[in-house]
């Protein structure tokens, strides 16, 4: 079964979208479960999950993100674990689209990524891969601290923080 992805008012097959993706592109997911709707309500975001494409040299396209699941192999460590992970991009999108029933989009980064940015990306992956995903109570606490303008502790992280922190390390986000 081929599943289509919505991209800038165009519809692409997953294969075509994976072929087009480059390092820094965002993969966005939106589900309809009670938990997913709660995430969107609390974060005031139109989506409930985000991952970042990592496309380097001869490697297959990868997705850098954080999630509760451990069903896919983390290609950085060669293990299955929860939290911050680096997955085969196509497998991750298929899992979020099919297994989790999420609607999927990707947004291409409108900036060139140079070697220094790629190096910063790899250092970020090496430093943060395996960081746990926050428990539900911790998510609420992080949200509250964020509303107060106070930083949350870095012992755990969720998907948007992974992408934002990586963008900051790469110099894409101040």
Distance (Å, whole) CA 21 – CA 61: 8
Of 174, 82, 88, give the one whose Cα is nearest residue 129.
82
Give the Cβ contact number of residue 135 at 10 Å: 11
Higher pLDDT, 40 or 79: 79
Of 100, 126, 118, give the one whose Cα is nearest residue 32.
100
The pLDDT score that the predictor gives to residue 89 is: 98
Largest CA distance in the chain: 46
Residue 16, token pair as written in the block: 């075509």
pTM: 0.84
Q: At 2, is the pLDDT very low, low, confident or very high (cuts 50, 70, 90)?
A: very low
Q: At 43, is the pLDDT very low, low, confident or very high (cuts 50, 70, 90)?
A: confident
Q: In what order do the strands lie in the sheet containing 103-107?
A: 10-13, 4-7, 103-107, 26-30, 49-54, 62-67, 83-88
Q: At 1, is the pLDDT very low, low, confident or very high (cuts 50, 70, 90)?
A: very low
Domains and CATH numbers, the chain: 4-170 (3.90.1720.10)
Instruction: Over range 78-87, report the average pLDDT.
Output: 96
Regarding beta strands 103-107 and 10-13, do their DSSP bridges make them parallel or antiparallel, or are they unpaired?
Answer: unpaired
């Amino acid at each position: 079964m081929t599943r289509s992805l919505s991209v800038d008012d165009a519809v692409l097959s997953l294969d075509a979208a994976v072929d087009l993706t480059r390092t820094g592109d965002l993969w966005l997911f939106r589900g309809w479960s009670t938990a997913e709707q709660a995430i969107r309500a609390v974060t005031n975001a139109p989506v409930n999950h985000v991952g970042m494409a990592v496309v380097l040299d001869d490697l297959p396209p990868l997705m850098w993100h954080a999630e509760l699941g451990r069903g896919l192999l983390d290609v950085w460590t060669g293990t299955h674990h929860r939290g911050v992970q680096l997955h085969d991009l196509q497998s991750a999108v298929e899992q979020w689209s099919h297994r989790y029933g999420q609607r999927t989009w990707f947004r291409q980064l409108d900036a060139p990524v140079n070697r220094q940015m790629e190096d910063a990306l790899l250092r970020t992956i090496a430093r943060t891969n395996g960081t746990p995903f926050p428990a539900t109570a911790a998510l609420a606490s992080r949200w509250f601290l964020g509303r107060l303008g106070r930083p949350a502790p870095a012992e755990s992280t969720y998907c948007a923080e992974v992408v934002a922190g990586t963008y900051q390390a790469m110099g894409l986000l101040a």
